[in-house]
Amino acid sequence: DGGITQSPKYLFRKEGQNVTLSCEQNLNHDAMYWYRQDPGQGLRLIYYSQIVNDFQKGDIAEGYSVSREKKESFPLTVTSAQKNPTAFYLCASSTGQGTGELFFGEGSRLTVL
């Protein structure tokens, strides 16, 4: 079955540690996205990538980094510079930027202790 796989589903980290969230898709989609979801805030765009080896900052990129070395993969690193990293992180993909039709993974919940 085609889809998007995020891992881990739950992650705990200590303050000052970097953590990397995995996102893999087998939909052959060109565009991939990372969103952050906080209670009462909706979804906010962190980074997006339209093509391999290229990515752009979204609205809240500070304290995060990404890479897009393969079409299927778009990992997100939450660095120690992110001041409030505890959140639910959602990865998505689409056939191309601008369609608005995103396919989402099930999310990763990060808790900083």
Q: Which of 1, 15, 54, 101 binds another protein (CB under 8 A)?
A: 101
46 belongs to the binding site for another protein (CB under 8 A): no
Contact 34, 23 (CB under 8 A): yes
Which range touches another protein (CB under 8 A), out of 12-20, 61-69, 72-80, 89-97?
89-97
Question: Can you tell me which residue has the tokens 């809240």?
Answer: 60
Contact 4, 103 (CB under 8 A): yes
Q: List 34's β-bridge partners, or say none.
A: 47, 91
Question: Which chain residues interact with another protein by CB under 8 A?
Answer: 4, 6, 33, 35, 40-45, 48, 58, 90, 92, 97-98, 100-102, 104-107
